[in-house]
Amino acid sequence: MGGAAAIWIFPVATRRAARIAERAYIGSLADLLERVSDQLHEQPSDVTLSSASRALDHAHQQLLTTARPLARNPWHHDRIERELTRYTETAHHARNLVADVAGELEPGASPVDTQRLDETIAQLRANLARPEPPPRRRPQESPGPGDGQSPDRSARSTRVLAGEETDPVGSQAVRRSQWFGETTQGASMTTTTSDSTTTDTEDRLAIFELIGRLALLLDARDWSALEQVFTDTVYSDRTSLYGGEPMNLSAAEFVSGWRQVLGNLDAVHHLISCHVISLDGDQATCAANMQGTHVYANASGGPIWTVGGRHDYQLKRTPDGWRISGLTFTIQWATGNEHIATLAMAAEQS
């Protein structure tokens, strides 16, 4: 009984994560094909072919990593392997297309055969969009609904994969991706667009990734990109660290405060863990542990100051996905040279 339950329970969450990876792959492929078309027709683009190609490679690897465990389910092994093979072949052809276009656009190369390359782009889109035909039923066969070889079941699986039908898991209908129906950015520091039909698991993963992106961008001191993880107005409560009162700031003002304190340090490193996310429609909260390490070589004391405490996030769903609308930091401990941030700011101003 326990083994059977594990077979069914584990893939439910994994399949949802795989669908997110699947949509990211499809979005990256669509983005790459669009960039190739722009290059052929000399349309300006803010993303290079090499960047779009790397984004597709990353999305493809994420899809393989996420979906491979599902192949251990004996009821879905063949279908999953077949779909992953199709995705891999399509990614391979797309990379070859990029190489062809780059070669034909080199100075001194033969005139570009835009019609041929346009036909290749259209074929790649059609190959990914076209579901495989269901197996034919022999006239004398009349399999029952529980038969694993049921053509009705195979045909329905094909319709599900093509986005024409939902796949019920227990009492919940799980929505499948629509081929090229939704486009996601291929760049590494962008947010996937949410819609009203996303599942709780997809929302939680998006929020988890958003907060992870916050830490990475903060440590990279990428201030302009950091503003994009927040709503236009941000509730800020850092009174446990600096005193004063909570404030409502613009995203630019909120990030500027971090920039003033952290911008001149030698290094900064944030660890955010133990996320507990609560969803309420288009709003959410997340509580998490946070540890921040600040490094600055100076002649007045030690080079490291580390603080630990709790982050409480307020989040809102926007047309561009989930964004952070509020952040409260509650300090719980600190060690090291607490003056290094002040020393770094003074050195920057001198």
Say if residue 230 is in the same domain as residue 344. yes
CATH number, domain containing residue 206 = 3.10.450.50
pLDDT at 151 over 60: no
Residues 301 and 212 in one domain: yes
> Does residue 210 sit in the same domain as residue 310?
yes
- Specify the number of domains making up the chain: 2
Which one of 85, 107, 133 terminates a domain? 133
Whether 139 maps to a domain, the answer reads no
Residue 167 lies in a domain: no
Q: What is the pLDDT of residue 276?
A: 95
Check: CB of residue 245 under 8 Å from CB of residue 217. no
Q: What is the mean pLDDT of residues 135-155?
A: 42
Is 242 part of a structural domain of the chain?
Answer: yes
Residue identified by tokens 């800020």 is 236
Higher-pLDDT residue of 106 and 183 is: 106
Contact 281, 304 (CB under 8 A): no
Question: Would 143 be classed as within a structural domain?
Answer: no
pLDDT in tens, 157-198: 334 333 344 333 333 333 333 322 333 333 333 334 444 445
Whole-angstrom distance, CA of residue 102 vs CA of residue 180: 24
Q: Are 88 and 57 in contact (CB under 8 A)?
A: no
Kindly state whether residue 175 falls inside one of the protein's structural domains.
no
For residue 266, give the DSSP letter.
S
Tell me: do 238 and 332 sit in the same domain.
yes
Instruction: Give pLDDT, residue 106.
Output: 61
Count of CB atoms within 10 A of residue 317's CB?
Answer: 20
Domain around 341? 200-349
Same domain assignment for residues 127 and 213? no
Asked which of 124-133, 208-217, 240-249, 273-282 is least confident by mean pLDDT, the reply is 124-133
- C-alpha distances (whole Å) from 335 to each of 100, 294, 302, 304, 306 are 57, 11, 10, 8, 5
What three-state secondary structure class fits 335? strand
Examine residue 177 and state whether it is found in any structural domain, yes or no.
Answer: no
Asked which of 90, 107, 133 is the last residue of a domain, the reply is: 133
Domain assignment present for residue 182? The answer is no
Same domain, 108 and 206: no
pLDDT band at 308 (very low <50, low <70, confident <90, very high): very high
Whether residue 16 contacts residue 202, with contact meaning beta carbons closer than 8 Å, is answered with yes
Is position 190 within any domain? Answer: no
Q: Of the candidates 133, 154, 171, which is a domain's last residue?
A: 133
